[in-house]
Every structure is written in C-alpha cells, then in structure tokens.
Amino acid sequence: MNRIKPDSQLKAVTDFLAQLRKHIGLSFGAEKRYLVESRLSPLAQKAGFTNVHDLLIQLNTSVVGELHWQCFETMTTQETQFFRDGFFFETLRKEILPALIQKRQGEKKLKIWSAAVSTGQEAYSLAIFLEEQFPELKSWKIQILATDVSDKALQVAQRGEYEIQDLERGLSPAQITRFFTKGPVDFQIAPWLREAIQFQKINLISAWPAESSWDLILMRNVLIYFDQSTKNKVLEKVSQALAADEGTLVLGSSETLIDFPKLVRRSAARGFFYQRQSVEA
C-alpha cells in the first residue's frame, strides 16, 4: 500500500495553507490543520483524487485556477442567519441610524455595504429592518451592496431561496409571510426586496469597490479568520472607505479592534461599532 509519510503530509498541508492565506486571507493555526482534511475530503473525492493529500499535491504544484478557488471557498466558514445578533439591530435602531438620518437629511442618501454577506441573510435582514423600522426612508435613495468572496454563497444570496428552517432562525411568522413567497421547494425573498440589493463578488484582500464614503460597512464575523497583518491591511482600507462624517464599521459581536488607532469605538455603543478617528484628535 502506498503510505504517505507524515512529513510529506505536513508539508502539503502547510503549503496549501500558505496559498489560502495569500489568496483569500484565511489563516489557520496548527490546531485547525485538521480542517483541511475534513473540509476538502468530499471535494477530493468528487474531483477524482484518491485522497486529500493527492489533491493538495496537485494544488501546490500547479498554477492557481478553478480547482484552487473551489478549495479556498470550501475552507471558508459561511455560518450566518437572519437578524444575527439582536444587539446589533437594536443599536442600529436606537443610535446609529437616527444619527445618520439626521446627518444625511440634505441629500437623503444612505450607502450600506455588507462586506462578507455569505448566503445573503445579513443583507436581507437589513432591508427588512429598514422597511419595518424606518418607513421614513422610503423616499430616500438607499444603496445596499452585498459582497462575498464565495461564488457559491453569492449564488444562494442572489437567488434568495431558503428552506423554512433557515427562515425560522431569526424571522417571525409575520415577517416570513410578508417578505417571502412559497416556491415549489423553498421560500423565496420577495422580488422587490431582492432588487433593493446589489450583489457582487469582492475579495476583501484584493481590489475594493471604487466607490467610497460608505455610511455603514458591515464586516461581521470575517476578520476573525485573518491574521493581524491581513486584518490591519483590510482595516486600513475600511478607514479610507468609510464616510468621514458618522460612517460606521460594524464587526461581529465577539470582535474588537486592538491597536488600530485610525478607527475608534463609537462612544455610546458597545464594543463592535467603530468610526474614523477625527482629524483633530
């Protein structure tokens, strides 16, 4: 039997993880190496490799192409849900949006970017939330951009089709009835809500949208997968892309920024809302 030597196995995994970090920023410590085997195993089988090791050897010795991207995508964590983290929406309702609405009364425009939207629940929750909680924004121009590096996740997001279990994780029966239609298999988001959102593939460690002055950037539960230097590069771009006046970055509820002085915590909100450091400070 063709037994793989442990050091050859370790090298293959280490080289693959270096590629993963280089191309999409994900950084796996030694304690997470086992995820390479468990996550790539179905893909290795499907692509006709005898085992994950052979797949890794192929990836590590060839030019980055479709198979690499499929593997990178498979290594991402896409966990999400409708109205994830009630405190976030509560703070948005009580503090962040009222302040933004006051500042933008003149132009009546808001620009929101959900920067790692996964399968779409975050962006749809936001659109539902604005519809329900801020009816006065109906006459405003609201831009919601929803992006992710994963094609597969974006396809789900764009279709807006979910199983009932997905909807029940976060939405009330009244919201399901109002904002979804029952299709032959799944539930589908109402077309007018889907049309309110632009979907686009964006890798946070590559080129960003040319536009800037975002009023809200949601970058929740993604920076945790990057190492500090990648995180700082992304945050540097965030600090330039946020609107100088009240623009707010939102992280996941267990995330905080340390040692990044260009972004400061919003005073009244708990840890994970940040804005640009003012020029005078």
Ligand X SMILES: C[S@@+](CC[C@H](N)C(=O)[O-])C[C@H]1O[C@@H](n2cnc3c(N)ncnc32)[C@H](O)[C@@H]1O
Instruction: Note the residues at the interface with ligand X (CB under 6 A).
Output: 24-26, 76-80, 84, 116, 118, 122, 148-150, 153, 203-205, 220-222, 252
Complex with ligand X: residue 175 or 230, whichever CB lies closer: 230
**Smallest distance, ligand X to C-beta of residue 90, A:** 16
Instruction: Name the token pair of 141.
Output: 């121009």
160, 189 contact by CB (below 8 A): yes
Complex with ligand X: residue 118 or 275, whichever CB lies closer: 118
24: closest CA among 64, 84, 61? 64
**Smallest distance, ligand X to C-beta of residue 245, A:** 25
**Smallest distance, ligand X to C-beta of residue 83, A:** 10
Helix %, strand %, coil % for the chain, to 5? 45, 15, 40
Question: Token match 């405003």: residue?
Answer: 140
**Smallest distance, ligand X to C-beta of residue 130, A:** 17
Complex with ligand X: residue 11 or 23, whichever CB lies closer: 23
CA 278, CA 281: separation in Å to the nearest integer?
A: 5
Complex with ligand X: residue 130 or 219, whichever CB lies closer: 219
251, 272 contact by CB (below 8 A): yes
Complex with ligand X: residue 207 or 279, whichever CB lies closer: 207
**Smallest distance, ligand X to C-beta of residue 2, A:** 34
**Smallest distance, ligand X to C-beta of residue 57, A:** 24
Complex with ligand X: residue 50 or 77, whichever CB lies closer: 77
256, 272 contact by CB (below 8 A): yes
Rg (CA), the chain: 21
**Smallest distance, ligand X to C-beta of residue 162, A:** 14
* DSSP designation for 32: G
Complex with ligand X: residue 13 or 153, whichever CB lies closer: 153
